[in-house]
Amino acid sequence: MPPEDGIDFQCHVCAADVDMNDKFCRNCGDRFFTPCIFCKSVVDTPDKFCANCGSKRWPYVEHVWYDVFYRTPEYFLRVPVSITVAAGFIYFVFLRSKPAPIPPPEVHKSPLPNPAEWVPEVYKQTASVVNWFAKSMHLY
């Protein structure tokens, strides 16, 4: 029940003095009175049952109900945006198709002849002399 006119009370969360016309605590921002979801009578926030109809209160459901209908759109859109970002991350990391593997490069035959075929005979003789000298000196 809300206090009678002219009577101040204390916040049940932070114990700050509260004017009776306030709906929220000026110190901690807690809500003082919420409507019962069954009979719509005013109920003190910490009460577990409605004093008018005796129904059990569900604080989590009432909190979500309040947030859906009485908060700003920015507050209400946090959940869908968070779910969308999480779904995108999961898709990107785990579910997306992997890129096709890169094929190995093709080996092309050169249009030029084999170097052994077009090297002049003089160079072949010089190379054989160098090879003979290297073998005789045990260089390789």
Express each pLDDT in 15-36 by its tens digit.
888 887 887 888 877 777 777 8
Q: Mean pLDDT in the chain?
A: 76
* 132 is a domain residue: no
DSSP-derived letter for residue 104 is P
* 66 is a domain residue: yes
pLDDT value for 79 = 78
* 45 is a domain residue: yes
pTM of the entire predicted model: 0.34
* 127 is a domain residue: no
* 116 is a domain residue: no
- Host domain of residue 71: 9-91
Whether residue 4 has pLDDT greater than 60: no
pLDDT value for 74 = 66
Reported as a pLDDT band with limits 50, 70 and 90, residue 138 is confident
Q: How many alpha carbons lie under 13 Å from residue 7 in its C-beta half-sphere?
A: 6
Tell me if 20 sits within 8 A of 3, measured CB to CB: yes
* 46 is a domain residue: yes
* 40 is a domain residue: yes
Give the number of domains in the chain: 1
